[in-house]
Structure 1
């Protein structure tokens, strides 16, 4: 008999990414099914009712599309067929979630280029954050319709880890049809024991998941641990649980996990602030007045009205330094990711946020640097 997982407390969280595997959304006939999705949707609703945000990364589009074409048409086509099936199934998969949730559901398709290109990365981030502000539930998937093999993000487990970092999540939840990580394959080794907590994903831990060709390899437990490793680097813990277990799903709403928790070495905020503080910058600088410097040091976003000058050239999304200008000279008070390019900031300097669109003909938002994309140097108060 396979040993079961003990209940443990989830870490505190305000925003989570929930990844749902395709096996949880399809029935034995391959058609979309809400059998397991209902419980997951109830968890999303309960989380939102308590003031938390949940972003879904949902598989199932290709499976949903497969049942819409004749059997003989599925035998050939390779990647092109997969792209067509994804296009056929996306609306059905999103429609399933909309039928289970009483709030607007928004589809967001991401590609490799969206996350590699800094400007498009920021666009995706801003869209997702705005959807959450509007109290919608984003449903994210890879844009399989246009992805080519060499530029695919890969499996949705790793996509979920990327999205978790993208939206500053505190927790990554991965639902599949297995209970969690075992010390060995539980169906093949009677001595396999459940691993309730993983401090770090080491080669020894990866070996427990099996090789790429095993039943728990590609698309299985190994990719989930790889995703947890990515999330941990962003300061995000990962919870692995069985989405077919109604009791395990229901316990999530009470802050309890029956599965495996992969810890993060530091908090999400600490990890992000550390990166902003130490990552290579663009060489660009924004000079600000004393009022803007105080606001930034107090945790506010940087608005265009407090900017008095721009040094150097940089693109949207580049890391720049914020310099407070005073009688004693200039001193660095913060670093952050700039929402606008250097030339655009020069045109906005000293102006009110309501003038942005009139000046530029477009707007990426009211802030030049969002407070979540900024780290202030407290020692600048000295």
Structure 2
């Protein structure tokens, strides 16, 4: 099998039902936003924005992960636009172009567009991961449209790799999205390159990303974008591991956008074999906890967690063992009737903070600590019972 990176003049894909979703991430590549002469163009962005607006009007939530900052920066300082520019110059172009990129998206919406710049390190560090999730969740609650991009001014490796496809998958898991839409300038996956093989067949549905499929994926098909089909399949694999489906579609195609607006798909749907909840609980059960770290709870809290699936509040906490930071994975134990391992989860507070707020009401957190990360010490979505 081969995976095409070029699109035939007329798509051979047929409509199929699209995924059902409440919250989604839409990844838009540079090839859809960059003008031929440099800078940004609304040519394809407008159709994508209309797709987003239609879904926002239905009460759904969307986060856009958008490339294009470097391409936009090239129009601001054309002298730095040659392909052999040193990394520092490319980082400068990203800084110049990011404002242009946000301005492009803002012109299409009557709600505030929020800029969120992330690196993969922000999402690998547990504390910064929690901060990023809290920020994006709050932005969605406020009714804004978050537009995420890699912080290319500082993330050298990511700038080289053009890894916004994988960043989009990570953001989808971060915000508990049901689906990752990847808009590109190709129709989807084919059994061979349709430009050179007339027998090439469209692949409308993929049950799993296999090593053979990844090995056959091509590179970038655009002089503007830096990601190819391989990074899109890598992203789909990451999303599937989190219980999130991925949809590959042609963002330059009005027919593909019309189909999506009606809950149908002209493209490739990459499915997942597990639910988002099951994937997250599996991760929580197996990620290493901080050695010797535990939150000690009373019998009432243990019953509420184990029997009712409740979050852990300060009032049910007796104390904390060991030292750990906000965002660390810790054990939750009860010692009222001998040591009982109740659950494990991600703590929103450090060990020192927990010792200070133990047995207190949630309304006292601010007064005790001088800050507040929320009423839940461990949220039930960040916890797995044992």
TM-score, normalized by the shorter chain, greater than 0.5: yes
- Structure 1 residues 33-78: Cα deviation after superposition (integer angstroms, max 9, x where no partner): 22221222222222222232211100111111111113x3333532
> 1 CA distance for matches of 2:46 and 2:262?
17
> 1 CA distance for matches of 2:104 and 2:236?
27
Question: Is 180-189 or 216-225 further displaced after alignment?
Answer: 216-225
Cα RMSD after superposing both structures = 2.3
> 2 CA distance for matches of 1:94 and 1:215?
22
Q: Does residue 285 of structure 1 match 2:265? A: no
> 1 CA distance for matches of 2:373 and 2:213?
43
Q: Does residue 321 of structure 1 match 2:304? A: no
Conserved 8 A contact 1:183-1:194:
yes
> 1 CA distance for matches of 2:220 and 2:245?
27
Instruction: Assess, with a 3 A threshold, how the Cα gap between structure 1 residues 13 and 153 changes in structure 2: closer, same or farther.
Output: farther
TM-score, with structure 1 as normaliser = 0.91
Instruction: Assess, with a 3 A threshold, how the Cα gap between structure 1 residues 181 and 152 changes in structure 2: closer, same or farther.
Output: same
**Given the alignment, which residue of 337, 344, 350 partners 1:341?**
350
> 1 CA distance for matches of 2:257 and 2:381?
31
- Structure 1 residues 318-359: Cα deviation after superposition (integer angstroms, max 9, x where no partner): 112223454x34433322100111111111111122222322
Conserved 8 A contact 1:299-1:371:
yes
Conserved 8 A contact 2:24-2:62:
yes
- Structure 1 residues 250-281: Cα deviation after superposition (integer angstroms, max 9, x where no partner): 32232221111111121111100111123222
**Given the alignment, which residue of 32, 47, 54 partners 1:46?**
54
Question: Is 109-118 or 317-326 further displaced after alignment?
Answer: 317-326
What is the match of residue 5 of structure 2? none
What is the match of residue 145 of structure 2? 137
What is the match of residue 86 of structure 1? 94
> 2 CA distance for matches of 1:48 and 1:296?
35
Conserved 8 A contact 2:162-2:227:
no
> 2 CA distance for matches of 1:219 and 1:154?
5
Runs (5+) with no aligned partner, structure 2:
1-7
Q: Does residue 108 of structure 1 match 2:108? A: no
Q: How is 1:151-162 mapped onto 2 (pairs within 5 angstroms)? A: 154-162=162-170
Q: How is 1:251-266 mapped onto 2 (pairs within 5 angstroms)? A: 251-266=259-274
What is the match of residue 374 of structure 2? 365
Instruction: Assess, with a 3 A threshold, how the Cα gap between structure 1 residues 126 and 255 changes in structure 2: closer, same or farther.
Output: same
Shift in Å, 1:288: 2.2
> 2 CA distance for matches of 1:324 and 1:12?
40
> 2 CA distance for matches of 1:241 and 1:12?
16
Runs (5+) with no aligned partner, structure 1:
378-382
Conserved 8 A contact 2:39-2:73:
no
Shift in Å, 1:152: 6.7
Q: Relative contact order (alpha carbons < 8 A, sep ≥ 6): 1 or 2 greater?
A: 2
- Structure 1 residues 75-110: Cα deviation after superposition (integer angstroms, max 9, x where no partner): 353211111111111111111111111211111101
> 2 CA distance for matches of 1:342 and 1:153?
38
Give the number of equivalent residue pairs. Answer: 374
Instruction: Assess, with a 3 A threshold, how the Cα gap between structure 1 residues 48 and 325 changes in structure 2: closer, same or farther.
Output: farther
What is the match of residue 219 of structure 1? 227
